[in-house]
Amino acid sequence: MRATTILLERLLAAGMGEVDGVAPVAGGAAAVAGIATRRDGPPVFVKAFADGPADDGVFVAEAEGLTALRELGGVPTPEVLRADRGLLVLSVLHPRPPSEIFWERLAHLLAAMHLNTTHPRFGWHHDNWLGRRRQVNTWHDNGHAFFAEHRLLRWLGEPRVEAALDAEDRAALERLCDRLPDLLPDRPACLTHGDLWTENILATADGRPALIDPAVSYMWAEVDLAHVWSTSPPPEARRFFDVYADLTSLDDDWPARLPIVQLRQHLAVLAQFDDDWGAADQIRAVLAPFRPRS
């Protein structure tokens, strides 16, 4: 069934009958999405799972994450118009402008969110979702243990991960996790978007940066930085990282740490999609120093 047909059927089932049509939009890999035009109001963004949601609370958790980013983090997000088992309806955002000023503004917004939302523990008050897989957010006092258990080792039981990584790969990941306190500095937890690839960065009508599709938790700020870094930011983003580093007083070694931090996202991609976009190769490259020497 075509994505537009699925979305139109879900809108009609939800009682939103004044819909003229739905135009598909590209971007998300886990769900189908489109822009619905309405006779009784402005266009809206709609999203659904083609074969039903993974859980009743997927879109409710996403809506809660958008509210947290906006109200706790001070970051613009779309207005949530409806969030239920089968459908998410949001106000429409705009493509981000191709300007360095936009990315510098984003650096200020992200830095302010990370600096102003520090939390004594790692996690969130309930689990939520990264794509179509559960993101476990059980509270933990230790960031390295939380990251190892709930952001890295958590993926080893997934069928696609088991098929792609051999026993040596899995053992190397376990060794890396054992050494995390030596590899990554002890940073405080703060509110993080959690899925901040470049496609989730849009703009408001007046050109301000806005974020969509979060998987929020209180975690290391570098989880967000690593995801922007590794998902092909455009040339105009070149100042983003320097501005963010200056605002947050990052040490000079931060770029070298990001491949380890980004392992979490590569494992999540490998677990969920047949086309892993090179994730398995990137995982193996990061794990290479942790394999036993022959």
Beta-bridge mates of residue 45:
35, 90
Judge whether 151 and 138 are in contact, CB under 8 Å: no
CA atoms of 206 and 80, how far apart (whole Å): 19
For 125, list phi and psi in degrees, rounded to 5.
Answer: -75, -5
127 token code pair: 């689990």
Q: Which two tokens stand for residue 43?
A: 């266009």
Q: Token pair of 81, please?
A: 């118009």
Catalytic residue among 55, 186, 195, 246: 195
Write the burial class of residue 25 (CB in 10 Å: 0-12 exposed, 13-18 middle, 19+ buried): middle
**Coil, strand or helix: which one is 34?**
strand
Known active-site residue 84: no
DSSP-assigned beta bridge partners for residue 211: 201
Strands of 70-200 (E only): list them: 80-83, 88-91, 128-130, 133-135, 190-192
Rounded distance between C-alpha atoms, residue 111 and residue 247, angstroms: 6
Query: Position of tokens 């050109």?
Result: 207
**Residue pair 272/30 in contact by the 8 Å Cβ criterion:** yes
Give the count of beta carbons closer than 10 Å to the beta carbon of residue 235. Answer: 8
Q: Annotated active-site positions, please? A: 195
